[in-house]
Amino acid sequence: MKKFFAAVVLSLSLFKASADEGMWLPMLLGEQVYADMVKRGLKLTKEQLYSINKASIKDAIISFNGFCTGEIVSSQGLIFTNHHCGYGAITAASSVEHNYLRDGFYAYNKEQEIASGLYVLFLDKITDVTAEVEAAVKGLSWSERLAKLPEVTKAITDKVIDKENGLEGRVYSMFKGNQFLLYTFKRYRDVRLVAAPPESVGKYGGDTDNWEWPRHTGDFSVFRVYAAKDGKPAEYSTENVPLTPKHFLPVSIKGFKDGDYAMIYGYPGSTNRYETNYGIKLKNDIENPSLVALRDMRLKYMHEQMVKDPAVKLKLADNYATVANYWKFFDGETKQLLKFKTQQQKEAFEKQFTDWAKGKPEYQYLMSDYAKNYAAWTPYSKMRQYINEGVLGSPLAAFAATLIPLEDKLMKASTPTADLKKALDAATAARKAYLQAADLVSDEKIMATAAMMYYNDIDKNQHPVSFYESMKANFGSLKEEGTFKNWSKAVFSGTMFLDDAKWNAFVAKPEAVKLQEDGAFAFGAGFLKNYTGKYASLYNTFMSKNAELGKAYMKGIMEMNPAAVKKMYPDANSSMRVSYGNIKSYRPRDAVFYDYVCTAKGILEKYKPGDYEFDLPAKQVALLQKRDFGQYIDKAKNDLVVSFITTNDITGGNSGSPVIDANGNLLGLAFDGNYEALSHKIAFDKDLNRTICVDVRYVLWCIDKLGGASNIIKELKLVK
């Protein structure tokens, strides 16, 4: 019995935070976690980390437009975040004549700052509402519970809504539905672009260096949040003034050394650290390889056109960056999961869990139920990926699919004229937006290849009825690539979505049959309807059952060893978290050592004039060659430090997160993870995991020396 218990405790290390693992709730750090932070070097009190009644670090951390993190760094609402977080706003502000994406942008006074259309959220407080939620769903079946939860959480968030003061709430499910926390936020809607380096700096290294260390990317952009004169949130107005924040981060240019304490606040998007072996197998065997192959195809065709024409590059830049980022991530994730035998580790733990669960009705059949649930869905998993990443990876097909609701209205004789007009007006506006962003040359190739890959790789029983038969009858053998190319060419030349005259004629006399006969609609909408009509319910059942099993499994894990709960943390779910660790070098493999910083010397070593990924502005090359580093030089390295690595636990959503020293000063901005630990959404590697951060001294050097925006530097509280 003692031997078995020891094995259970040992295997619980799969789920209990160890070393630097953990994305902790700032309100619920616990004495054990806080004591460990102090032991590692933290000099701040708990109240300085998180407080409702007093200004604290959490008041300087913002959710940046819902998908990144940013930090307030001045008394005038100045924001630092990543370049890739501001990428869409920088692109939107750019034109061929004023290409801020290519050339960079610096506002030398507040009048030059550019409205972005972005928003930021400040966390006001966190409240545990578990008891309230559970009381409202007590006694309900799982399906009834799922149906009821949105109503319950809405009633909770409705209580905190205060439109005048910008307050809103969101209830987050923690530990797979075993705990519920209400986050109250204040939303500010006037956010303006202040500075951004040239893309050759902000994306230096491109896809080649993405997720890699060493790294020399100046991944930063600067914004400012504005408010009404009374400090309340307001829509954009020239009458608004810079926000005076509760707290802002001092900026350290003192430098640091290997081993120094580092803390990261932010809004990490999602992890699944409590995943089962069945989920990992599905990911490794089907989901990730399919996604990688389809995105690889899309990137190839977009890149071909982007390198030929600056206007096309500007048009496709944001979409290309989004597709490319996780193309490489999911490829690396699978490789690391296989390398570390994560599935086998999960299997071993699940066997021990099942042994422990014998005689406990709530838990004893969990693993067999998981197996049945995955067996029921797995045959359709690849097809779903091919719809999302292949068919709808064609912008034309994706636009066409959005017209399914219009088709429904056209097919109903009872549709009011006003409703139909509203739908047609919306479709016309959506078409205009699509055409502004479209690159037809790359899209035609994407559509042809996506259709061919679906035909070759997906079970014929899951094909839309008669679609490929019709293609064969009109364009030739489905064994020939040329058949798909000719079909796609015909779709693009014939669709009314690309022809103003045809579209206007359709709007003037809208008929469902005209829409249905359009080649682009037949493809995009046809494949999507095939999925939603036959398979979406299977996916929904799969996900619902997985959630039900996950809640019970999580509860069971905690019951196996209650003492371990104090060092467990909930999966990331876009709620504010804090992680801690150290700045630290590492050895990724035998005979290889990676230092904890990269310097300007490395920028020049990688520099290739005219290269798509490793070119640099001439001014920057000259400044670096002259070693004009000013006050930003690192005395220990006798160079300008560009980036550094820490052992902190982060994931997507932490982009732009502040890296904070033991005294609460800003050291840099987190922007990436390392390739050797890309399994981090599923499993944290205590030895190899590293967070890649741009050094704030390089950020300031770019603003000051490269951009000449000393006005921004003067706003900051520099710690020397």
pLDDT at 16: 53
**228 and 339 housed in the same domain:** no
Confidence of residue 17 (pLDDT cuts 50, 70, 90): low
Please state whether the peptide bond connecting residue 268 to the residue before it is cis, i.e. omega within 30 degrees of 0: no
Does residue 584 contact residue 20 with C-beta atoms inside 8 Å?
no
pLDDT of res. 11: 38
Nearest 5°: CA angle at 84, between 79 and 86? 45
- pLDDT, tens digit, 9 for 90 and up, residues 287-328: 999 999 999 999 999 999 999 998 998 889 888 988 988 888
Classified as helix, coil or strand, 259 is coil
Non-local (6+) Cβ contacts of 618 within 8 A are: none
State the pLDDT at residue 31: 84
My answer on whether 252 and 285 are in the same domain is: no
Whether residues 91 and 123 share a domain: the answer is: yes
Residue 387 and residue 423 in one domain: no
At 586, the pLDDT band (50, 70, 90 cuts) reads very high
Cα distance between the two ends of the chain: 59
Question: Which helix H or strand E contains 181, and what residues bound it?
Answer: strand 179-196
- Is 489 part of any domain? yes
Cβ neighbours for 320, distance < 8 A, ≥ 6 positions apart: 299, 302, 303, 306
What pLDDT is attached to residue 15? Answer: 54
Across 215-220, average pLDDT: 98
pLDDT the model gives residue 6: 31
DSSP single-letter state for residue 376: H
With tokens 């996506």, the residue in question is 450
Same domain for 313 and 420 = no
DSSP per-residue string spanning 215-246: ------EEEEEEE-TTS----S-TT-EE---S
Q: Is the pLDDT of residue 13 over 50?
A: no
Last residue of a domain, one of 534, 555, 580: 534
Same domain membership, residue 558 and residue 460: no
Catalytic residues, which ones?
Answer: 84, 219, 655
Q: What is the pLDDT of residue 469?
A: 97
Q: Averaged over 37-58, what is the pLDDT? A: 95
Here the CATH number for the domain that contains residue 700 is 2.40.10.120
- Taking 80 as the threshold, does the pLDDT of residue 124 lie above it? yes
Average pLDDT over residues 557-564: 88
User: Do 492 and 640 fall into the same domain?
Assistant: no
Q: Say if residue 182's pLDDT is above 90.
A: yes
pLDDT at 7: 32
Mean pLDDT of the chain: 95
pLDDT tens per residue, range 59-69 = 999 999 999 99
Task: Say if 478 falls within a structural domain.
Answer: yes
- 1: exposed, middle or buried (Cβ count in 10 Å: 0-12, 13-18, 19+): exposed
Same-domain status, 261 and 138: yes
Residues 193 and 312 in one domain: no
Is residue 664 assigned to a domain? yes
**Residue 10 pLDDT > 70, yes or no?**
no
CB atoms within 10 A of CB 661: 23
- Supply the pLDDT for residue 389: 97
- In a shared domain, residues 78 and 220: yes
Q: Evaluate whether residue 204 is within a structural domain.
A: yes
Query: Which amino acid, one-letter code, is at 346?
Result: K
Residue 162 CB neighbour total at 10 angstroms? 12
Q: What's the pLDDT score for residue 18?
A: 55
Q: Does the pLDDT of residue 73 top 60, yes or no?
A: yes
Q: Are strands 251-252 and 718-719 parallel, antiparallel or unpaired?
A: parallel
Domain for residue 583, yes or no?
no
Rounded Cα distance, 219 and 72, in Å = 17
Poorest-confidence range of 331-335, 445-449, 540-544, 603-607?
331-335
87 contact partners, CB below 8 Å, separation of at least 6: 101, 202, 221, 317, 318, 321
Range of the domain at 565: 274-391+538-570
Residue 22 covered by a domain: no
Task: Return the SS3 of 673.
Answer: strand
| Residue type at position 359 | G
Is 166 part of a structural domain of the chain?
Answer: yes
Q: Is the pLDDT at 377 greater than 60, yes or no?
A: yes
**How many CB atoms are closer than 10 A to CB 628?**
13
3-state secondary structure of 572: coil
CA distance 145 to 546: 14
Q: What whole-number distance in Å separates Cα of residue 293 and Cα of residue 6?
A: 43
Structure confidence by residue, pLDDT tens digits, 473-502? 999 999 999 999 999 999 999 999 999 999
What is the distance between the alpha carbons of residues 712 and 222, in angstroms, rounded to a whole number? Answer: 9
Is residue 40 domain-resident?
no
Per the structure, the count of domains in the chain is 3
pLDDT in tens, 233-270: 999 999 999 999 999 999 999 999 999 999 999 999 99
Q: Does residue 653 contact residue 659 with C-beta atoms inside 8 Å?
A: no
Helix (H) or strand (E) holding 114: strand 114-128
Nearest of 256, 335, 211, 253 to residue 73 by alpha carbon: 253
Whether residues 510 and 425 fall in one domain = yes
Tokens of residue 685, six digits: 């590697």
Q: Are residues 699 and 674 in the same domain?
A: yes
Q: What is the pLDDT of residues 669-705, one digit of tens each?
A: 999 999 999 999 999 999 999 999 999 999 999 999 9
The pLDDT score that the predictor gives to residue 12 is 43
Distance CA 471, CA 478 (A): 8
Helices (H) and strands (E) in the chain, counts: 28, 18
pLDDT at position 437 over 80: yes
Could you tell me which of 47, 28, 57, 62 has the C-alpha nearest to residue 267?
62
**For range 398-415, the mean pLDDT:** 96
Report helix, strand or coil for 648: coil
The pLDDT of residue 50 is 95
Cross-strand pairs, 594: 586
